[in-house]
Amino acid sequence: MHPAQPYSVYPGTQVGSSPLARRQLLKHFGGGLGALALTSLFGTSASASDGAPLPSLPQPHHPPRAKRCIWLFMGGGPSHFETFDPKPKLIEYNRKQIPIKLPDHLRDASRTVMAPMWGFKRYGNSGLEVSDLLPHLGSCADDLCVVRSLCCDNIDHQAAITQMTTGEQSASRPSLGSWLLYGLGSENQNLPGFVALAPNPSQGIARPWSAAFLPAAFQGTHIKSLAAPISDIKPILSADVQRQQLDLIAGLNQLHGRGRGDDSRLEARTATYELAFRMQSQAPDAFNVDTEPATMKKEYGLDDPVTEKYGRMCLLARRLVERGVRFVHVDCGNIWDHHGGALEGHPKSAAATDLPCAALIKDLKASGLLKDTLVIWAGEFGRTPTSQGSNGRDHHPHGFTAVFAGGGVKGGMTYGATDDFGWYAVQDRMHVHDFHATILHLMGLDHEKLTYRYAGRDYRLTDVAGTVAKAILA
């Protein structure tokens, strides 16, 4: 099998098959991961100390509406009936048998309808309906585009998370953030271009920030601890001594790599050393929310133990994107998975995330960043309109809700619809491939042109499908 080769990232930029092609790719698309390291390693003239300019960013396929993206990942699968998709029919049929045919794989599932446990109010000039559980997001109504017709193909958490974040149900494809970094690069060469804030990742899986078969430089940087986001960032040695060590390591890696084929992992590891060296100057400030004014920390809920954790992550996300980080995944963990006890569990999940999510949107808007920052609120699937236990709901991939804000999306609107019982998406159905195609389009990328050749095939985030939802574009 031939090693993987980049292929036609942009029209007219076919990448060749030599090892230098991959190195050039990493240099120009590496999202901050060691452009200078690679020039040093492979014998070109630039170095970390000679003042050589950093490589220019690749150009998108069309003018982008968004330059950066934050995914507020609601792990566990929030119920659309208790968040953004009111269904009066469920109240009418409460505790009765649902009068529609269910999919065969749910033949033995409960058919007993359960009414929404919370009411809805209309917010803003648009009158967008939002659950009483989410009053803070409701106050952002005129900036929200609520997609009520999202669909994926699996009812298992891990497979659904994998598909929602990589486009494929198995662990074999690069994540959305890795594709964006591959296609657009990073605007900050001293911070990672793709950061995953996930101290307790949903289902404990790392697939949402995996680069899979893309060069390893496009892997997301996983932040495991909010108390110490970047371990050992304070230098012990002087900059001159570190520089000598890195040059020695680069030379040894070059010798090791000769005759061992084209392996992006070694190149990315060397690039990561260089990134870590440069991060010593910028990362401490970027990840230090304590420098924020007390009023700002209060707006994100850092003064309340209920909201402090997710509020800190949302505030970190804002600090990262304003410094040029391309994609930030903000994972709340598996807190929305309520098969039973939703009456008690959903309010806790909403309380932990509602205020921080709304604070992020309002903060980005106040600073002028929201217009070109795409914010996504979504989990891996929704929940059934039928009951599980006394007050729980099962997994549901056939029609659920995601929310967009900013980044060139129309605000104060809904897109698509599920049927009267909220089971099937029946209007403007948005499959996960359409979801990804739309995100890429907003970021200036054509999902059919953003490809990578691997194992003899040109892969895409959207596989062989995907349609842009043009109706939501501002």
Between 329 and 253, name the one with better pLDDT. 329
Can you tell me the distance from the alpha carbon of 152 to that of 135, in angstroms, rounded to the nearest whole number?
28
* Res 389: pLDDT: 83
Give a three-class secondary structure readout of the chain: CCCCEECCCCCCCCCCCCHHHHHHHHHHHCCCCCHHHHHHHCCCCCCCCCCCCCCCCCCCCCCCCCCEEEEEECCCCCCHHHCCCCCHHHHHCCCCECCCCCCHHHCCCCCEECCCCCCEEEECCCCEEEECCCHHHHCCHHHEEEEEEEECCCCCHHHHHHHHHHCCCCCCCCCHHHHHHHHHCCCCCCCCCEEEECCCCHHHCCHHHCCCCCCHHHCCEEECCCCCCCCCCCCCCCHHHHHHHHHHHHHHHHHHHCCCCCCHHHHHHHHHHHHHHHHHHHHHHHCCHHHCCHHHHHHCCCCCCCCHHHHHHHHHHHHHHCCCCCEEEEECCCCCCCCCCHHHHHHHHHHHHHHHHHHHHHHHHHHCCHHHEEEEEECCCEECCECECCCECCEECCCEEEEEECCCECCCEEECEECCCCCCEEECCEEHHHHHHHHHHHCCCCCCCCEEEECCEEEECCCCCCCCCHHHEC
* Inter-helix orientation angle 19-29/264-286, to 10°: 10
Mean pLDDT for the stretch of residues 322-347: 95
Can you tell me the distance from the alpha carbon of 247 to that of 40, in angstroms, rounded to the nearest whole number?
8
Read off the tokens for 451: 């490809």
Residues paired with 405 in a beta bridge:
144, 375
Q: What is the mean pLDDT of the chain?
A: 84
Q: pLDDT-based confidence at 330, cuts 50/70/90? A: very high
pLDDT over threshold 80, residue 36: no
pLDDT over threshold 80, residue 290: yes
pLDDT over threshold 60, residue 20: no
Q: If 0-12 CB within 10 Å is exposed, 13-18 middle and 19+ buried, where does residue 101 land? A: exposed
Mean pLDDT for the stretch of residues 262-266: 64
Percent with pLDDT over 90 in the chain: 68
Range with the poorest average pLDDT among 86-95, 195-204, 254-263, 358-367: 254-263
Read off the tokens for 93: 């049929």
The residue whose two tokens read 């895409």 is: 460
pLDDT over threshold 70, residue 211: yes
Alpha carbon 262 to chain centroid distance?
Answer: 29
CATH number of 68-182+194-228+305-444: 3.10.450.30, 3.40.720.10, 3.40.50.720, 3.40.50.300?
3.40.720.10
Can you tell me the distance from the alpha carbon of 29 to that of 22, in angstroms, rounded to the nearest whole number?
10
Mean pLDDT for the stretch of residues 367-378: 98
Range with the poorest average pLDDT among 141-145, 169-173, 219-223, 290-294: 169-173
Between 235 and 391, name the one with better pLDDT. 391
Q: pLDDT-based confidence at 258, cuts 50/70/90? A: confident
Q: pLDDT-based confidence at 270, cuts 50/70/90? A: low
CA-wise closest residue to 313 among 66, 70, 67: 70
Can you tell me the distance from the alpha carbon of 162 to that of 205, in angstroms, rounded to the nearest whole number?
9
95: left (phi over 0), alpha (psi -120 to 50) or beta: left
pLDDT over threshold 70, residue 469: yes
pLDDT tens string 190-200: 888 999 999 99
pLDDT over threshold 70, residue 265: no
Range with the poorest average pLDDT among 192-196, 248-252, 467-471: 248-252
pLDDT tens string 406-415: 999 999 999 9
Q: What is the CA radius of gyration of the chain?
A: 23
pLDDT tens string 421-468: 999 999 999 999 999 999 999 999 999 999 999 999 999 999 999 999
pLDDT over threshold 60, residue 4: no
* Res 29: pLDDT: 40
* Res 67: pLDDT: 97
pLDDT over threshold 90, residue 303: yes
Mean pLDDT for the stretch of residues 221-229: 86
Check if the beta carbon of residue 9 is closer than 8 Å to that of residue 58: yes
Check if the beta carbon of residue 311 is closer than 8 Å to that of residue 302: yes
Angstrom CA distances, 320 to 51, 222, 294, 373, stand at: 25, 14, 19, 12
Alpha carbon 331 to chain centroid distance?
Answer: 9
Check if the beta carbon of residue 398 is closer than 8 Å to that of residue 151: yes
Q: pLDDT-based confidence at 287, cuts 50/70/90? A: confident
The pTM score is 0.83
Check if the beta carbon of residue 70 is closer than 8 Å to that of residue 373: yes
CA-wise closest residue to 110 among 425, 401, 395: 395
pLDDT over threshold 80, residue 267: no
pLDDT tens string 137-184: 999 999 999 999 999 999 999 999 999 999 999 878 999 999 999 999
Can you tell me the distance from the alpha carbon of 193 to that of 186, in angstroms, rounded to the nearest whole number?
5
* Res 233: pLDDT: 54
* Res 283: pLDDT: 67
Between 48 and 368, name the one with better pLDDT. 368
